Structure 1
Amino acid sequence: MAKQTPFFSSISRLYPHVKPILPRLFMGLLCALLASMVALAIPQVLRVLINGSLQPGGSTQALWTASLVILGLGAAEAGLVALRRQFVINPATTVETRMRVSLYGHLQDLTVSFHDRWGSGQLLSRAMTDLNFLRRWMAFGAIMLVVTTLTVAIGVVVMFSMSWQLALIFLAAAVPIMVYGFRFRTRYSKVARRSQDQAGDLATTVEESVHGIRVLKAFGRSREALANFNEQAEELRQTEIAKARHLATFSLVVTLLPELALGAGLVVGVVLASRGELSIGSLVAFFATAAVIAAPVEFSGTLLAMALTAKTAVDRHFEVMDSVNTITSPENPRRPEELKGALSFNHAGFAFEDAPDKPVLQDITLEIRPGETMALVGITGSGKSTLLQLVPRLYEVTAGSITIDGVDLRDFGVEELRTVVAVAFEDTTLFSSSVRDNVLLGAPDAGSEEDRDAALAEALEVAQAHFAYSLPDGVDTLIGEEGLSLSGGQRQRIALARAIAARPRVLVLDDPLSALDVNTEERVEARLREVLTDTTTLIVAHRPSTVALADRVALLEDGRITAVGTHARLLAENSHYRYVIASLSKEPRDLDSELSAFEAEEISR
């Protein structure tokens, strides 16, 4: 359960975002308040009309005048309501958009460890649902809550001016409403927070199920996934019912008590009028005024619920915005005078934030020469992938240092470092865009369109991703969300092409060719050597063929580098290395490539 903060403390955090539009919001508030004052003025016209024109001998002209005044006041109220909307809608949507863009930008800056802890659905619900609700609250809920409060206060003063006895009866109903309102606020805040968190969890489940639909279908687990989703959806439904129950009870109280007070006031008012202590016009005006403020009183429950939900949305938004990006650029970034690509690990270590006493990597010391290809091998769980993610600073070393050409990675500007270092991972991530856009994602922006097309063609050729040209729209084919319309081997080759097109000095590969057959892998490696002769490559190898193609091999054992040398030397001298090589996976078959080759052969016949 998130820590509860005071309402005004949470809402005040919106001030920097709302400050530029405060004049427009104030004008909207003023229009709404004037509309309420116009509504309160109508009963006073009725009082004058009844006490004057409707008395025996009253003027017909006065009746028509009063009718026209009431019509004018009604038209003015409608016009002011329309003006309120005009004043607040555009600036409120502007604030929503800016906050959404700011949140997205902050998410891009935050570390990988942050995203490891947070479900994507939770972030999605904060970026969409919460900010959408905040916009509606700023444009309507906040203004109407202020207007409702002022309308009721002014209305009560007017009622006192007409009959203090009846006003006291009406005011007496406010005491239990205020008492219950305090309890309602506390209870509703908790259930509103629980509802929004559960909605985020449900969004995460939907996203995971959609992305993993092939796995669920392949293993026949759709029913189990549906049962789990149904359970989560039912929990959210019960929470929403609890919200509705709290709101319904509060609405009952704020509706019933004023109505009972008005009923009692009617009896007392008739008695006062019969005694001549209250005019008929004042009696009618009193109850007309009560009718005007009855609607805001009844609506106060909904407005209060909106305010509490908005407060929760603000808290959830700033939970993300308050997260600190620990991987940043220094004030005065440095870079080597001549960028060659020499990569050095100097007693480097790493431990996750939630387990600082259990380091994943310890005392890593490794020198990779410019242009050299170094294979990194080790049993599952030895820390290979984690070590690779230290190079582009996806994770930050917690001990020692890593340097490129003698400059500590932490002295580079983050953006510049990630142009020097390119990555391709085994679990490829592609975006819902064209093959062209995915491959050229990290390519240098400089250069003509022809240069970019040439870089695209070369990257696809090196990665042996010729299949891209046979797609329905060639390299401009939209490949679908996360590239799921492609096979595993095709996705890996597109991801590798993306890393090649970036033209890095240091290339980090986390077994990006695991889905390829050995012949395709060999062709890719051969072309990589030709095209990236000056590029330093660190590659996690899970197959003997990949190891054999490397210049040297580093053996990672229990988070430490225990041996470095050529494949042949380590195979002859290191028993643990022989064990690791023997346990590496057998060469997989790329069924997609085989099928394409078979079809090509059939066509040629």
Structure 2
Amino acid sequence: MPTTRETTDRSAVRTLLRLWPYVRPVRARVFTAAFVAVVASCTGLVIPLVLKWMVDGPVADRDPAGVWLGALYLLLLGIAEAVLFGIRRWLVARPLSHVEAEMRAGLYRRLQRLPVAFHDRWASGQLLSRATTDLMLLRMFLAFPLTFLLVNGVTILVGLVIMLLQDWVLGLVILGPAVPVMWTCVVFERRYARVARRAQDQIGDLTTVVEESVLGIRVIKGFGRHRSQARAFRELSGRLRGTELRKARLLATIWAVIVTLPEVAIGAALVLGVLRVADGELSAGTLVAFLSTALALRWPVDSIGFLLAMSQEAATATERYFEVMDELPEDQLDGDGGGGPRPQARDAAHRAAAPGLRFENVSFRYPDAPPGSPPLLTAVDLHIRPGESMALVGATGSGKTTLTALVPRLHEVTSGRITLNGVDITAMSREELRGRVAVAFEEPTLFSAGVGENVLMGARDAAGKPELDRALAIAQADFAHALPQGTDTRVGEQGLSLSGGQRQRLALARAVVGRPEFLVLDDPLSALDVHTEAAVEAALRRVLADTTALIVAHRPSTVLLADRVALLSGGRIAAVGTHQELLRENAEYAHLMSGEQEDSR
């Protein structure tokens, strides 16, 4: 996963402006809500003016009717303010929930389109925290701080104008703390941004630990590692707690400054105002209105620290969100940026090439490999003829799985090319390519869905029960019919409610259900018992007779499924021939096969 970033690349404002394309469709309601909130807030500032009229008028003249009329005005103003704020909330609730849903859907779509290399680098917990916690912070920011930074700013400005018009001397006293408060806000914003980013990254790390502990609960219990996992969780939790306390201390500091200095200014204005009233320089009603206005501005001023903190958290959440969204999807990693073939691929596609599946001078190095490190695969040349099945054999770590991942373009070749029936695979769209090539991985992944749904994911077109039953029969997965709800039975997360062999058979059924033209199997029988393996092999032979297949094999029984065998050694194809030929002529192959036989006993 990318390392935690302690500083932001841009200002919070520039970062938050990236949300505009998502807000634009609902801008009318958002702007209307902001306007309504400004009107509601300014309505509250009329109340001190009514109090001035009441003190200098009906109260001074001992007019009870005027006092009751003033009370009515105050009641109506209070009701109007409450109704307007209620309308603001109603205006923004639905559209901002829609914005959050659209951003979450966009993130999910982007994750589906990003290359495998991206997912190899990123921890799933980090991605999950971006799709949940970060987007929740963004919705809260759009609903509250975004509006009230504007509303409170306008309220403070209007309130100061009112106070200066009532008495400019007292107004200057109230303005005294403005400079130290603004300086504190600038320092706070810079420091809080770093701490907020650190906290959100640590939440992602903590999410990863929880997710891995849940998925790996059998391993944890089997090896009695619950204490070490709990210790790791406590350490991460303690680190996050320390960061959150650091955030709390920063927020307490700015609140202390923002609250204390204005309160001191109000106290000074009160003392000075009382003295001026006593000297006859100021009316009592003006002093009451002035102080009431100053007190009405306490919340807008006090909330600055809170709103700035939420804005900084939203800025870091936006930054984390776009770290994923800015990654190029698979179809833009090609030369033309649109998912089509690269120019060299289009030219290569027209060159003469043999039918079937062919690797031509293929080399591969992982994108994040250290500079200068040797490629994992070097100048691989291999031709699998139409209708032929080829077993791929090699020592552990020789690159067999990586080579098979190049066929459906889960990884891109570093150099060379791969052709299907003479057409460079980069000259096809990935959708077309993956419609022609089916894959069964060594580690079978099942989803929290029904057995039938998991298997039929391998069918390109609408497939029904006959195709499902056929695939289950080929994979010797008829046990699915005996499950409580038959093929509608949900297999649970990762399919862990099934045995390893059952999961592998369902993954194999998923690979063959669509009757693929090309089949890539990564050690598909490793988890099967001897009797089931023999039955699956017999059924697979019928399937392999009608398709072109590349099979990663570790056991002689799997090798015997293939027409020919390729030995991968040192990143190259060292030998190709039948099983018997390689046993006689290649010592490395004979050693691998004898080792497998010994391991199987």
Letter in 1 for 2:224: G
- Cα distance, 1:588 vs. partner? 5.8
**Residue 367 of structure 2: aligned partner:** 353
Q: Distance in 1 between matches of 2:170 and 2:376?
A: 76
Q: Of residues 564, 568, 583 in structure 2, which corresponds to 1:552?
A: 564
2:297 counterpart SS class: helix
Describe how 1:289-368 pairs up with structure 2 within 5 A: 289-328=293-332, 329-330=339-340, 342-355=356-369, 357=372, 358-368=374-384
Q: Distance in 2 between matches of 1:366 and 1:559?
A: 13
**Residue 336 of structure 2: aligned partner:** none
Q: Distance in 1 between matches of 2:454 and 2:550?
A: 22
Q: Distance in 2 between matches of 1:341 and 1:9?
A: 54
**Residue 225 of structure 2: aligned partner:** 221
Letter in 2 for 1:117: R
The TM-score with structure 1 as length reference comes to 0.94
Q: Of residues 509, 518, 536 in structure 2, which corresponds to 1:506?
A: 518
**Residue 411 of structure 1: aligned partner:** 427
2:380 counterpart SS class: strand
Q: Distance in 1 between matches of 2:341 and 2:300?
A: 55
Q: Distance in 1 between matches of 2:586 and 2:281?
A: 109
Deviations 1:218-270 (A, max 9, x none): 11111101101110011001101111111111111111111111111111110
- Cα distance, 1:421 vs. partner? 0.6
Deviations 1:181-234 (A, max 9, x none): 111101100000000000001001111111111011111111101101110011
- Cα distance, 1:461 vs. partner? 0.5
Letter in 2 for 1:436: G
2:282 counterpart SS class: coil
Q: Of residues 105, 125, 128 in structure 1, which corresponds to 2:129?
A: 125
- Cα distance, 1:442 vs. partner? 2.0
Deviates more, 1:577-586 or 1:473-482: 577-586
Q: Distance in 1 between matches of 2:552 and 2:529?
A: 17
Q: Distance in 2 between matches of 1:394 and 1:115?
A: 11
Deviates more, 1:564-573 or 1:350-359: 350-359
2:144 counterpart SS class: helix
Q: Distance in 2 between matches of 1:585 and 1:158?
A: 92
Asked if the contact 1:434–1:476 (Cα under 8 Å) also holds between the matched residues in 2, the reply is yes
The answer to whether structure 1 residue 473 and structure 2 residue 485 are counterparts is yes
Asked if the contact 2:341–2:426 (Cα under 8 Å) also holds between the matched residues in 1, the reply is no
1:152 counterpart SS class: helix
**Residue 159 of structure 1: aligned partner:** 163
Q: What's the RMSD between the two structures over aligned residues?
A: 1.8
2:519 counterpart SS class: strand
- Cα distance, 1:549 vs. partner? 2.1
Compared CA separation, residues 210 and 341, structure 1 to 2 (3 A): farther
2:366 counterpart SS class: coil
Asked if the contact 1:25–1:87 (Cα under 8 Å) also holds between the matched residues in 2, the reply is yes
Deviations 1:517-561 (A, max 9, x none): 233222212212223422111111111111122110000001110
Q: Distance in 2 between matches of 1:152 and 1:80?
A: 19
**Residue 52 of structure 1: aligned partner:** 57
Deviates more, 1:171-180 or 1:430-439: 171-180
**Residue 146 of structure 1: aligned partner:** 150
Q: Distance in 1 between matches of 2:119 and 2:316?
A: 22
Asked if the contact 2:114–2:329 (Cα under 8 Å) also holds between the matched residues in 1, the reply is yes
Q: Distance in 2 between matches of 1:444 and 1:323?
A: 28
Q: Distance in 1 between matches of 2:166 and 2:544?
A: 90
Compared CA separation, residues 587 and 549, structure 1 to 2 (3 A): farther
Q: Distance in 1 between matches of 2:198 and 2:211?
A: 20
Structure 1 runs, 4 residues or longer, greater than 3 Å off: 331-336, 585-589
Segments of 5+ residues of structure 2 without an aligned counterpart are 333-338
The answer to whether structure 1 residue 530 and structure 2 residue 546 are counterparts is no
- Cα distance, 1:52 vs. partner? 0.6
**Residue 454 of structure 1: aligned partner:** 466
Asked if the contact 2:341–2:427 (Cα under 8 Å) also holds between the matched residues in 1, the reply is no
Q: Distance in 1 between matches of 2:379 and 2:531?
A: 37
Q: Distance in 2 between matches of 1:175 and 1:73?
A: 33
Q: Of residues 496, 505, 519 in structure 2, which corresponds to 1:484?
A: 496
Describe how 1:562-601 pairs up with structure 2 within 5 A: 562-584=574-596
Compared CA separation, residues 327 and 561, structure 1 to 2 (3 A): farther
Q: Distance in 2 between matches of 1:395 and 1:153?
A: 58
Letter in 2 for 1:48: W
Deviations 1:493-524 (A, max 9, x none): 01111111122111111112101123322221
Describe how 1:363-382 pairs up with structure 2 within 5 A: 363-382=379-398
**Residue 13 of structure 2: aligned partner:** 8
Asked if the contact 1:50–1:280 (Cα under 8 Å) also holds between the matched residues in 2, the reply is yes
- Cα distance, 1:395 vs. partner? 0.3
Q: Distance in 2 between matches of 1:375 and 1:420?
A: 19
Q: Distance in 2 between matches of 1:350 and 1:331?
A: 19
Q: Distance in 2 between matches of 1:245 and 1:152?
A: 26
Asked if the contact 1:432–1:482 (Cα under 8 Å) also holds between the matched residues in 2, the reply is yes
Compared CA separation, residues 386 and 567, structure 1 to 2 (3 A): same
Q: Distance in 2 between matches of 1:401 and 1:169?
A: 77
Asked if the contact 1:341–1:536 (Cα under 8 Å) also holds between the matched residues in 2, the reply is no
**Residue 430 of structure 1: aligned partner:** 446
Deviates more, 1:526-535 or 1:25-34: 526-535
Asked if the contact 1:31–1:83 (Cα under 8 Å) also holds between the matched residues in 2, the reply is yes
1:127 counterpart SS class: helix
**Residue 386 of structure 1: aligned partner:** 402
Letter in 1 for 2:340: P
2:180 counterpart SS class: helix
Letter in 2 for 1:82: G
2:584 counterpart SS class: helix
Letter in 2 for 1:227: R
Q: Distance in 2 between matches of 1:405 and 1:531?
A: 19
Q: Distance in 1 between matches of 2:475 and 2:355?
A: 22
**Residue 281 of structure 1: aligned partner:** 285
Q: Distance in 1 between matches of 2:567 and 2:16?
A: 55
Asked if the contact 1:341–1:506 (Cα under 8 Å) also holds between the matched residues in 2, the reply is no
- Cα distance, 1:66 vs. partner? 1.4
Deviations 1:322-374 (A, max 9, x none): 111245520699899xxx97100000111011225321111010000111111
Asked if the contact 1:516–1:588 (Cα under 8 Å) also holds between the matched residues in 2, the reply is no
Q: Of residues 99, 103, 106 in structure 2, which corresponds to 1:102?
A: 106
